């Protein structure tokens, strides 16, 4: 087994990716818009803190650490959801948002902002922690509402292409509902909605982190059970069925796992674009592999790394506060993906 | 006495629709497939060949009737048990960029593997062996998308061999191949039957190919019961004509070819002894002449020292080659 780099074995690339992931994780703790000396960060992390370090301690433990952990789980989860969608629909353009699940969470958030603003006079944008929890709960509700419709459609529709188109239609419907809702919303809440829509890994926070991490980890774990059927689906449904796969049931599981991952992550971080679409392509290119036994762990590592890298860039020293994650993911990632796709044309010619 | 690999009893295939409505494609099917034989399922486009094959491989539910696969009913077997009995080769194209030929062949081992689908040494040997048998050992490491249609077809046949099932079912395996590719494919299938004792059932409407390679033909038609027999028997008894003929086109049981049925065409009798008899007939058909069984018709072609002697009414011409002969006949019309 060798990769796009020729003789470099897949194992070596995977090992290098893990090292990169750890490095990026540490950088996320050591670097930020507030400059904290590395030895102080180290002391805080190892628990050797003095009293006058409380602010720094707060920044590292309450802000940077949960943000890094959020980025790791969100990146890994979105990348896996994207890989599952691409294999399910046998379509390289599929990504976690394609079935309208993330626009479902947008609708949930938009509706919440509309009703809290106009009916109770309470602006969520100004109500802190309770406001954040409210946002997440409504985003989750919206996403799961769409997921339930999609899974119902998957039972009554005969083929995956129809389902894909139905999902895109649902995106349009929820999109226009979001538009209508925004039209009637207050200005302050509109801004809160725009901010949520740009995505951020800092919304999860220490208190909500355990639920978020456990939910995503569960999705990642369950995806591992699909390795064999996912590989066989690469040959198409009929070959997969002949090789012992219960195609309908597998497709349903893929849908549910990637749907839950997308719903949870979007609810907590906002609709983070690009990672779910791009990371599977990067992983396939980098490793020259199609087997999900290798691709699944690879997209988890690469997705987490990419999210960490973008998070790092988004709050580099010098930027006031932090840049929206969505802007960074696409700006940095898109050229990289195009470059990789240009490189793969050799697969046609000599096929190696 | 060979055992039946497949026994179909009063099988109705088709599509079950809502509210109990059903579309039955063929009259009830009663037929058995003998082990270690190469059998072709033939019928015109749209006759139901693909649905037939999907039904007997458990990918499609029959409307009624019985299927017995080596004595078992497919719908009572588990998916993995069924996967070890019958393998399929389709014309579906897997378009993943990174699949390698050996990955595809290795997928044939999946029903035999554990949770991760990781190949053991024995499985790797089986995969390599299957690729070698199909003449694609040199394609190891190549991506599926870089293969020609013929190479891809052989890759999927190797997958079926790696799957190690006694029955292999192929849907239109010759569809996208060039002529030498078709012959190569059929030779490979025949060798698998002779050397590995595989039972192979394939669908095709490529009659010329079937006549040359199949041990048995199964002819299907929406209006007639399925029949089976050797290609020669079905051709000479005119059955192929019955199942395949359409307007203005008929199967000629002398030449084994389809010809435009043109009642106003001039008939020509050609003596069997002429040089290149086959090509003379070909040239005549191509130019719109019908072949006659009786030498009492207007044109009569016979041999004269390696040249062609054309006799009509009381005139005679000697022609050196086929082109000259055709030219002369056309001139006389």
A288 occurs within a structural domain: yes
Residue carrying structure tokens 């030779």:
B187
Q: Decide if A114 is inside a domain.
A: no
Please indicate, yes or no, if residue A329 is contained in any of the structural domains.
yes
Tell which of A227, A243, A289 to mutate to test the B interface (max B CBs under 10 Å): A243
Reading the block at residue A226, the tokens are 């699909």
* Same-domain check for residues B10 and B73: yes
| Contact yes or no for B108 and A290 at CB 8 A | no
Cβ-defined contact of A351 to B145 (cutoff 8 Å): yes
Instruction: Determine contact, residues B76/B66, Cβ cutoff 8 Å.
Output: no
Question: If phi over 0 gives left and psi between -120 and 50 gives alpha, with beta otherwise, what is residue A261?
Answer: alpha
Which residue among A236, A244, A284 places its CB closest to the CB of B97?
A284
- CB-CB contact of B162 with B192 (8 Å): no
CATH of the domain at A57: 1.10.3470.10
Is A134 inside any structural domain? no
B117 touches chain A (CB under 8 A): yes
Q: Do A344 and B97 touch (CB under 8 A)?
A: yes
Determine the 3-state secondary structure of A233 from DSSP.
helix
Asked whether the beta carbons of residue A232 and residue B146 sit closer than 8 angstroms, the reply is: no
Distance CA A170, CA A150 (A): 9
Q: What is the pLDDT of residue B111?
A: 94
pLDDT at A124 over 60: no
Domain count along chain B:
3
Q: What burial letters (b/e) apply to B5-32, b meaning 16+ CB within 10 Å?
A: bbbbeebbbbeeeeeeeeeebbebbebe
Please check whether residues B80 and B12 belong to one and the same domain.
Answer: yes
By the CB < 8 Å criterion, does B254 face chain A? no
Chain B CA closest to residue A86: B96
- Transcribe A279-298 into DSSP letters: HHHHHHHHHT---HHHHHHH
Across the interface, which of A236, A293, A352 has its CB nearest the CB of B141? A352
Chain B residues whose CB is inside 8 A of the A3 CB are: none
Query: Does the CB of B104 have a partner CB in chain A at under 8 Å?
Result: yes
Torsion of CA B195, B199, B203, B209, to 10 degrees: 30
| Cβ neighbours of A6 in B, within 8 Å | none
Residues B156 and B178 in one domain: no
Nearest CA distance, B282 vs chain A (angstrom) = 41
In a domain, B93, yes or no: no
Q: Which of B162, B181, B204 is the last residue of a domain?
A: B162
Q: Do B146 and A351 touch (CB under 8 A)?
A: yes
Say how far apart CA B241 and CA B289 lie, in whole Å: 19
B104, B115, B146 ranked by CB distance to A347: nearest: B146
Examine residue A41 and state whether it is found in any structural domain, yes or no: yes
Nearest CB among A235, A293, A349 relative to B107 is that of A235
Percent of chain A at pLDDT above 70? 88
Distance from CA of A273 to the nearest CA of B (A): 24
B256 part of a folded domain: no
Alpha carbon distance A95, A83 (integer Å): 8
Q: Do A347 and B79 touch (CB under 8 A)?
A: no
Strand partners, B303: B308
For residue A239, the chain B residues in CB contact (below 8 A) are 88, 90, 92, 94, 107
Q: Closest Cα of chain A to B210: distance in Å?
A: 25
Q: What is the DSSP string of A161-202?
A: HHHHHHHHHHHHHHHHHHHHHHHTS-HHHHHHHHHHHH--SS
Domain span holding position A28: 1-96+208-234+272-352
Q: Clarify whether residues B62 and B151 are in a common domain.
A: no
CATH number of the CATH domain containing B323: 3.40.50.800
Alpha helices in A199-291 (DSSP H): 205-224, 227-233, 237-242, 247-269, 275-287
Residue A43 lies in a domain: yes
Q: Are B11 and B28 in contact (CB under 8 A)?
A: yes
Q: Closest to A231 (Cβ–Cβ): which among B111, B117, B163? A: B117
- Can you tell me the distance from the alpha carbon of A322 to that of B293, in angstroms, rounded to the nearest whole number? 92
The answer to whether residues B253 and B81 touch, using CB atoms and an 8 Å cutoff, is no
Average pLDDT on A206-226 reads: 92
Q: Distance between CA atoms of B175 and A150, rounded to whole angstroms? A: 37
Residue A322 Cα, gap to closest chain B Cα (Å): 38
* Residue B1 placed within a domain: no
DSSP state of B9: E
Residue A51 reports pLDDT greater than 80: no
Euclidean distance between CA atoms B136 and B148, whole angstroms? 12
Contact B320, B314 (CB under 8 A): no
**Whole-number Å distance between alpha carbons of A88 and A108:** 26
pLDDT at A126 over 70: no
Contact flag B142-A244 (C-beta cutoff 8 Å): no
Q: Do residues A271 and A97 touch, judged by C-beta distance below 8 A?
A: yes
8 Å CB contact of A242 and B57:
yes
Domain boundary among B244, B275, B291: B244
B116 lies within 8 A of chain A by CB: yes
> What pTM was computed for the model?
0.85
Could you tell me the two tokens for A291? 């087997």
Provide, as residue numbers in chain A, all residues whose Cβ is less than 8 Å from the Cβ of B108: 243
Range of the domain at B26: 6-85+165-244
Chain B residue with Cα closest to A243:
B83
Chain A CB contacts of B94 below 8 Å: 234-236, 239
Residues in chain A closer than 8 A to B165 (CB atoms): none
Q: Is B99 on the interface with A (CB under 8 A)?
A: yes
Q: CA-CA distances (angstroms) from residue B281 to A82, B58, B179, B248, B298?
A: 61, 45, 21, 19, 16
Query: Is-contact B98 A288, C-beta < 8 A?
Result: yes
Q: Which tokens go with A209?
A: 């982190």
Contacts of A291 in chain B (CB under 8 A): 103, 117
**Position with higher pLDDT, A184 vs A280:** A280
Which is higher by pLDDT, B25 or A54?
B25
Confidence of residue A349 (pLDDT cuts 50, 70, 90): low
Per-residue tokens: A86: 């691409």
In whole angstroms, how large is the CA radius of gyration of chain B? 24
* A153: its two tokens: 């459609």
Q: Which residues of A touch B (CB under 8 A)?
A: 90, 227-228, 231-232, 234-236, 238-239, 241-246, 284, 288-291, 293, 344, 347-352
For residues B206 and B182, the answer to whether their CB atoms sit within 8 Å is: yes
What's residue A322's pLDDT?
64
pLDDT tens digits for A18-31? 999 999 999 988 88
What tokens were used for A124?
């969520």
- Rounded to a whole number, what is the distance in Å from the CA of B221 to chain A's nearest CA? 25
Q: Is the same domain home to B133 and B65?
A: no
Residue with tokens 């799961």: A144
CA quadruple A31, A35, A39, A43: dihedral, nearest 10:
-90
| β-strand partners of B224 | B221
Cβ-based neighbours of A286, under 8 Å, separated by 6 or more: A3, A4, A13, A298, A302, A340
Phi first, then psi, for residue B55 (nearest 5°) are -65, -45
Cβ-count burial of B265 within 10 angstroms (0-12 exposed, 13-18 middle, 19+ buried)? middle
Chain B neighbors of A244, CB-CB under 8 A? 79-80, 82-83, 110-111
Q: What is the pLDDT of residues A319-331, one digit of tens each?
A: 655 677 887 877 8
Gap from A281 CA to chain B (nearest CA, Å): 10
Least Cα separation, residue A173 to chain B (angstroms): 29
Which carries the bigger pLDDT value, residue A204 or residue A258?
Answer: A258
User: Which residues of chain B fall short of a pLDDT of 70?
Assistant: 1-2, 246-249, 253-265, 297
Q: Is the domain of B17 the same as that of B68?
A: yes
CA dist A188 and A299 (Å) reads 38
**Cβ distance B322 to B328 under 8 Å?**
no
Crossing angle of helices A205-224 and A292-314, rounded to 10°: 160
- Domain boundary residue among B133, B162, B191? B162
Residue A67: name the closest of A272, A318, A317, A312 by CA: A312
pLDDT value of residue A2: 43
Are B176 and B239 in the same domain? yes
pLDDT(A47) > 60: yes
**What percent of chain B stands above pLDDT 90?**
47
Q: With beta carbons under 8 A apart, name residues in chain B contacting A89.
A: none
Could you give the CA distance from residue B234 to residue B231 in angstroms, rounded to a whole number?
5
Q: For chain A, what is the domain count?
A: 1
- The burial class, CB within 10 Å (0-12 / 13-18 / 19+), for A45 is middle
The span from the CA of B122 to the CA of B117, in Å, is: 13
User: Is B90 within the bounds of a domain?
Assistant: no
* Tokens describing residue B314: 């009381």
Q: Do residues B6 and B67 make contact, with C-beta atoms less than 8 angstroms apart?
A: yes
Which helix (H) or strand (E) element contains residue B286? helix B277-286
Per-residue confidence (pLDDT) for residue A326, from 0 to 100: 80
Please tell me the predicted confidence (pLDDT) of residue A291: 93
A204/B310: higher pLDDT: B310
Of B59, B95, B104, the CB nearest to A241: B59
Specify the pLDDT at position B191.
93
Whether residue B156 sits in one domain with residue B20: no
Tokens in use for A119?
């009916």
Q: Quick one: DSSP state of residue A9?
A: B
Q: What is the mean predicted confidence (pLDDT) over A159-183? A: 89
Residue A242 falls within a domain, yes or no? no
Domain assignment present for residue A39? The answer is: yes
Residue closest to A97 by CA, chosen among A164, A160, A148, A153: A164
Same domain, B182 and B58: yes
Residues B197 and B73 in one domain: yes
Q: In whole angstroms, what is the distance from residue A40 CA to residue A45 CA?
A: 9
Give B124's contacts in chain A (Cβ within 8 Å): none
Tokens representing A66? 């949960």
Kindly determine whether residue A235 and residue B117, on different chains, have CB atoms separated by under 8 Å: no
Beta carbons of A53 and A40 less than 8 angstroms apart:
yes
Residue A245: what are its φ and ψ, rounded to 5°?
-90, 135
């Amino acid at each position: 087994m060798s990769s796009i780099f020729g003789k470099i074995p897949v194992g070596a690339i995977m090992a290098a990716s893990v090292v990169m992931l750890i490095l990026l994780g540490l950088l996320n703790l050591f670097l930020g818009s507030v400059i904290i000396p590395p030895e102080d960060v180290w002391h805080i992390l190892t628990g050797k803190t003095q009293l006058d370090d409380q602010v720094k301690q707060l920044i590292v433990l309450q802000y940077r650490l949960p943000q890094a952990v959020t980025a790791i789980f969100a990146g890994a989860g979105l990348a896996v959801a994207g890989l599952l969608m691409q294999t399910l629909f046998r379509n390289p353009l599929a990504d976690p948002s394609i079935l309208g699940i993330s626009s479902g969470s947008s609708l949930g958030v938009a509706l919440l902002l509309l009703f809290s603003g106009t009916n109770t006079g309470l602006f969520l944008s100004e109500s802190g922690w309770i406001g954040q929890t409210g946002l997440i709960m409504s985003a989750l509700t919206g996403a799961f509402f769409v997921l339930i419709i999609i899974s119902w459609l998957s039972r009554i529709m005969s083929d995956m292409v129809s389902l894909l188109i139905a999902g895109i239609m649902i995106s349009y419907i929820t999109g226009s509902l979001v538009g209508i809702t925004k039209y009637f919303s207050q200005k302050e809440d509109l801004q809160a909605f725009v901010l949520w829509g740009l995505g951020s890994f800092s919304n999860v926070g220490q208190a909500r982190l355990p639920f978020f991490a456990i939910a995503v980890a569960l999705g990642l774990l369950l995806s591992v059970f699909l390795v064999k059927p996912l590989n066989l689906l690469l040959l198409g449904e009929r070959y997969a069925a002949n090789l012992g796969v219960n195609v309908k049931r597998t497709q349903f599981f893929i849908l549910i796992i990637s749907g839950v991952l997308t719903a949870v992550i979007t609810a907590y971080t906002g609709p983070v674009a690009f990672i779910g679409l791009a990371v599977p392509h990067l992983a396939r290119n980098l490793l020259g592999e199609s087997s999900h036994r290798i691709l699944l762990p690879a997209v988890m590592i690469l997705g987490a790394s990419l999210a960490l890298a973008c998070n790092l860039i988004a709050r580099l020293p010098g930027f006031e506060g932090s840049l929206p994650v969505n802007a960074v993911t696409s700006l940095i990632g898109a050229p990289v993906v195009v470059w990789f796709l240009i490189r793969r044309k050799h697969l046609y010619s000599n096929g190696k | 006495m060979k055992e039946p690999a497949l026994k179909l009893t009063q099988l109705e295939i088709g599509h079950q629709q809502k509210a109990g409505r059903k579309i039955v494609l063929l009259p009830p099917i009663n037929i058995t497939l003998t082990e270690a034989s190469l059998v072709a399922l033939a019928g015109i486009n749209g006759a139901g060949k693909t649905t037939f094959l999907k039904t007997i491989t458990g990918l499609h539910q029959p409307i009624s009737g019985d299927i017995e696969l080596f004595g078992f009913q497919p719908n009572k077997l588990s998916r993995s048990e069924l996967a070890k009995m019958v393998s399929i080769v389709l014309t579906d194209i897997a378009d993943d960029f990174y699949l390698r030929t050996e990955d595809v062949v290795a997928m044939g081992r999946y029903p035999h593997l554990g949770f991760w689908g990781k190949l053991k040494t024995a499985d790797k040997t089986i995969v390599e062996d299957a690729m070698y048998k199909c003449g694609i050992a040199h394609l190891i490491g190549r991506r599926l998308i870089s293969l020609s249609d013929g190479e891809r077809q052989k890759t999927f046949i190797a997958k079926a061999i790696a799957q190690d099932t006694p029955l292999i079912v192929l849907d239109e395996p010759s569809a996208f191949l060039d002529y030498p590719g078709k012959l190569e494919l059929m030779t490979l299938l025949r060798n698998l039957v002779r050397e590995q004792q595989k039972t192979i059932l394939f669908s095709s409407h490529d009659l010329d190919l079937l006549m040359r390679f199949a041990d048995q033909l199964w002819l299907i038609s929406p209006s007639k019961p399925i029949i089976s027999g050797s290609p020669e028997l079905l051709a000479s008894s005119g059955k192929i004509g019955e199942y395949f003929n359409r307007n203005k086109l008929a199967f000629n049981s002398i030449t084994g070819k389809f010809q435009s049925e043109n009642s106003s065409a001039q008939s020509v009798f050609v003596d069997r002894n002429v040089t290149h008899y086959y090509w003379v007939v070909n040239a005549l058909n191509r130019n719109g002449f019908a072949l006659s069984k009786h030498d009492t018709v207007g044109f009569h072609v016979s041999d004269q020292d390696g040249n062609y002697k054309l006799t009509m009414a009381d005139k005679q011409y000697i022609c050196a080659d086929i082109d000259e002969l055709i030219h002369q006949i056309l001139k006389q019309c």
